[in-house]
A and B are shown apart, each in its own frame.
Chain A
Amino acid sequence: MDDLLAARSQMAMSLAFHIVFAAIGIAMPLLMIIAEWKWLRSKDEIYLTLAQRWAKGTAILFAVGAVSGTVLSFELGLLWPRFMGYAGSIIGMPFSLEGFAFFTEAIFLGIYLYGWKRVPPRAHLFAGAMVAISGALSGIFVVIANAWMNAPTGFRLVNGQPVDIDPIAAMLNPAALPQTIHMTLAAYAATGFVVAGIHAFMLRRDPNNRFHKAALAIALLVGGVSAILQPLSGDFLAKTVAVTQPVKLAAFEGHFETEQGASFRIGGLPDEDARVTRYSIEIPYALSILAYGDPNAVVKGLNDFPADQHPPVAIVHIAFQIMVACGVAMMLMALWGAWRFLRGHRNRNWLNSKWFLRALIAAAPLGFIGIETGWIVTEVGRQPWIIYGVMRTSEAVTPMPGLIVPFITFTLLYIFLALVTVWLLLRQVAASPSEPEPPAKEARLAA
């Protein structure tokens, strides 16, 4: 493994690890404050227990997210010093704003987790809302910086150096809005589905448990609404990519030949040497419609771009297919849930279906599979560039030799952390209440 590949692998592994905790850190506070709000309104203790249970799990996940996020912010310089030296003054701004959002998040999380008995209920709920808002903002600011790497704006290149820098224009790059919407929705959808799946699993074992029913309803509300909106945001993002990074769009689709009225491929295996994508189901005109909203639009193929500017097509295409499949499955699942809820509202038993619960359990990991493959699509799809069209990844890497050592070290460290985290969470799920516990005891434990 050469140093460039080791650096890319370390960055990919760190991002793949962190994004799970980041997404949960964005979405769980929303679930918690919904539960807490329902408790304040209904005085039903079951919702207080739920908020506190979720908070305990979130505390572990947030800590892992905070430290793995720290690692990433340093890794920008450790692995890509030339990129940061070049781009820091252009895109440092969203990172600085993220710093303050993260600060707010950490402060109010401390109050939320440890303050059950120290602040009045409304102040506690307010702290939770601050965590939810600042968590979402943290994610948005970081994704804005990533969007700039895909669609760099806010400077002019003169002799290879950026001049006339405008950090605001850089933040308002064309990819920023679609990417931030897509990732924020993904965080809510993925987390909602995982939580719903866990509580569906518990309900299968204990079908009349009110605690798990309440939990499942909140998680599915947040996850389901996001899953139904997500295909729209995906379409918005794909149309942006078609304009800003046509070569990436071609890689999504394994689309080699420039075509008018291009077909959308489902499945298939791109052969980069023969420059064809085989074994796919083709839907005529659909790609032209999806990319440009016009069945006769011309979609540029990979063959129109120099070979040294192609991303690894097979990886991008397959990851894109998996992401889309996960998103569609989640949307259908959410629609099924919505239909059951609306129809079953009269008899209040919309969760009493073996097959619905089984399907929810099966759908639990789809959101995170979608997030991981989605980031593969956007990051691998941008290669060979670190800043699209401006700086190649190979130009940005550190001159430090032996990068395989930190790559292996962090991989082992993260595998260990992942195992411990899963083990701790499983123990917490296993210890979930069969009926509401007295909240006073919980609160003392949390304090």
Chain B
Amino acid sequence: MPLETIIAGVMVASLVLYALLGGADYGGGVWDLFAFGRRAREQRELIAHAIGPVWEANHVWLILVLVILFTAFPPAFAVIATALHIPITLLLIGIVLRGTAFTFRTYDVQRDEVQRRWSLVFSIASIITPILLGIILGAIASGNIRVDNGVVTSGFVRPWLAPFPLAVGFFALALFAFIAAVYLTVEAEQGNLQEDFRLRALLSGVAVGFLALIVFVLAGTGAPTVRAGISRTPWALALHILTAIFAIGAFYTLWTRRYRAARVFAAGQATLILLGWAFAQFPYLVEPDISITSAAAPQITLRLLFGALIAGAVLLFPSYYYLFRIFKTE
């Protein structure tokens, strides 16, 4: 397998980890907004407790995706940053507001009304940011970003302000909210709180299924190549079956209150969905004009980057494991 393909694979893996870890932090913000009932305060506290120590580390997966993209595939980065200038700028505003509002709230707990205001900023930014992330990925997959001789010819609005990318945006939001709710069932220590998040997980799980269907239908005209990739090839069928098994597994284990198993199924389901998209888009980085091969940096850059990724992983994963062992085991 050529090195550029392996590095593109590492980039997809980082994106998957960002969705599974960083995505859940956004999902936590969603449930912060929708905290209601007698235990609203406990729900918010659990969310803050779950996100607090890890969100900054989880956020770095996105940075990793970005640096791999611009080191290994500079023309692809240039094209994406040009064509999607507007949604990326909005995404950044969301990232800034989410992170700072959460931190301000954590370290300024004197007065309830101020805290509520930061909560609102934090939770609304947590909803908008995943939608924008989905819109960006949807636009990249749509085939509507066109490039001629390195110049973006499809304008700055049309490729992303369309039904398919918007549907992917809401799908991403539902997916993040779903995995967050499932994780929170495990992190909740008392039964009532677990029930709260079980209900949220089941509801958002239904939303994920429903939005997946809408995305699939809209892909017919909105992203025909990717749609063809996920509906016709033999591996796609296998992947669909596997995703369905994980989705059913997640529902079944949530229903029967086996939360640790549900966490595995939900994370597996999210992973398979992203892998399905990645395989369907292969070998293109930006459908249909920029491929992994055409955008790849010279071999020496790829080799050095690959070495850095391996060395970085050797340092990173034990540290990451240590962080999660400290805060995610009771």
Partners in one complex: yes
Is B74 a contact partner of A398 (Cβ separation < 8 A)? no
Q: Is the CB of A114 within 8 A of B52?
A: yes
Assess whether A88 is in contact with B99, with CB atoms less than 8 Å apart. no
How far, in Å, is B162 (CB) from chain A's closest CB?
19
In contact, A406 and B301 (Cβ under 8 angstroms):
no
Task: Decide yes or no whether A198 CB sits under 8 A from chain B.
Answer: no
Please classify the interface of chain A as helix (H, G, I), strand (E, B), loop, or mixed, using the class held by over half of its residues. Answer: helix
A99-B64 CB under 8 A given contacts A60-B104, A107-B320: yes
Nearest-Cβ distance from residue B328 to partner chain A, whole angstroms: 11
Residue of B nearest to A85 (CB): B78
Contacts of B301 in A (CB 8 A): 89-90, 92-93, 165, 167
- Whether B319 is near chain A, meaning CB under 8 Å from some CB there, is yes
Say whether A413 contacts B322, CB under 8 Å.
Answer: no
Per-residue contact bits, chain B 67-100, to A (CB 8 Å; 1 contact, 0 not): 1101111110111111001001100110111011
Distance in angstroms between the alpha carbons of A102 and B67 in the assembled complex: 12
Q: CA separation between A93 and B70, bound complex, in Å?
A: 10
- How far does the Cβ of A64 sit from chain B's closest Cβ, in whole Å? 6
| Interface residues, chain B, with chain A CB atoms under 8 Å away | 52-54, 56-57, 59-60, 62-64, 66-68, 70-75, 77-82, 85, 88-89, 92-93, 95-97, 99-100, 102-104, 106-108, 110, 150-152, 156, 297-298, 300-301, 304-305, 308-309, 311-312, 315-316, 319-320, 322-323, 326-327
- Contact: A95 with B77, CB < 8 Å? no
Residue of B nearest to A88 (CB): B74
- CB pair B327 A108 closer than 8 Å: no
The residues of A that contact B95 with a CB separation of less than 8 Å are 67, 70-71
B326 touches A70 (CB 8 A): no
Interface residues of A in 374-407 (CB under 8 A from B): 398-401, 406
B181 to chain A, nearest CB (A): 22
What is the chain B residue whose CB lies nearest that of A423?
B108
Q: In the complex, what distance in Å separates the CA atom of A401 from the CA atom of B156?
A: 9
Residues of chain A with a CB closer than 8 A to B93's CB: 409-410, 413
**Would you call A437 an interface residue if the criterion is a C-beta within 8 Å of the partner chain's C-beta atoms?**
no
Picked from B56, B66, B156, B315, the residue with its CB within 8 Å of the CB of A109 is B56
Q: Which residues of A contact B71 (CB under 8 A)?
A: 88-89, 92-93, 95-96
A97 touches B59 (CB 8 A): no
B60 touches A99 (CB 8 A): yes
Assess whether A56 is in contact with B107, with CB atoms less than 8 Å apart.
yes
Q: How far, in Å, is A63 (CB) from chain B's closest CB? A: 4
Set A64, A81, A417: member contacting B78, Cβ < 8 A: A81
CA–CA, A45 and B110, complex, Å: 25
A269 contacts B by Cβ under 8 Å: no
Which chain A residue has the least Cβ–Cβ distance from B82?
A81
A89 adjacent to B316 (CB under 8 Å): no
Contact between A398 and B85 (Cβ–Cβ < 8 Å)?
Answer: yes
Q: 19 more A-B contacts (CB under 8 A) besides A64-B100, A88-B77?
A: A62-B56, A70-B92, A71-B92, A74-B81, A77-B70, A81-B81, A84-B81, A85-B77, A89-B298, A92-B72, A93-B304, A102-B63, A103-B312, A103-B316, A104-B315, A109-B56, A165-B298, A417-B100, A428-B107
Q: Which residues of A contact B63 (CB under 8 A)?
A: 70, 73, 99, 102-103
Given contacts A165-B300, A420-B104, contact A102 B60 (CB under 8 A): yes
Check A78 against B100 for contact (C-beta < 8 Å).
no
In Å, the complex CA distance between A74 and B77 comes to: 10
Q: Which of A50-102 contact B (CB under 8 A)?
A: 56, 59-60, 62-64, 66-68, 70-71, 73-74, 76-78, 81-82, 84-90, 92-93, 95-100, 102
A104-B316, A104-B319, A111-B326 are contacts. A99–B67 as well, Cβ < 8 Å?
yes
Select which of B74, B151, B319, B320 is within 8 A of A89 by beta carbon: B74
* Most B-side CB within 10 Å, residue of A88, A109, A410: A88
Q: Which of B56, B82, B96 contacts A398 (CB 8 A)?
A: B82
CB of A206 within 8 Å of the partner chain: no
Separation of A110 and B102 alpha carbons in the complex (Å): 14
Least distance between A446 CB and chain B CB atoms (Å): 9
Q: A59-B107, A77-B70 are in contact. Are A106 and B60 (CB under 8 A)?
A: yes
Choose one: A63, A106, A168, A417; the contact of B57 (CB below 8 Å). A106
Within the complex, which residue of B79, B99, B108 is in contact with A424, where a contact is CB–CB below 8 Å?
A: B108
Q: How far is the CB of B178 from chain A (nearest CB, A)?
A: 24
In contact, A86 and B315 (Cβ under 8 angstroms): no
The smallest C-beta distance from B125 to any residue of chain A, in angstroms, reads 11
Do B304 and A114 have beta carbons less than 8 Å apart? no
Asked if A93 and B308 make an inter-chain contact with CB atoms under 8 angstroms apart, the answer reads yes
A-B contact pairs, 11 of them (CB 8 A): A68-B96, A89-B297, A92-B74, A93-B71, A103-B64, A104-B316, A111-B322, A165-B301, A399-B152, A406-B89, A420-B104
A63-B78 contact, Cβ under 8 Å, with A89-B71, A92-B67: no
Q: Does A218 belong to the interface (CB within 8 Å)?
A: no
- By beta carbon, the residue of chain B nearest A401 is B156
**Which residue in chain A gives the minimum CB-CB distance to B309?**
A96
Asked whether A43 is an interface residue with its Cβ less than 8 Å from the other chain, the reply is no
Residue on A with the closest CB to B81?
A77
* Chain A residues positioned under 8 Å from B62 (CB to CB): 70
CB within 8 Å of B: which of A203-239? none
Bound: A70/B64 CA distance, A = 11
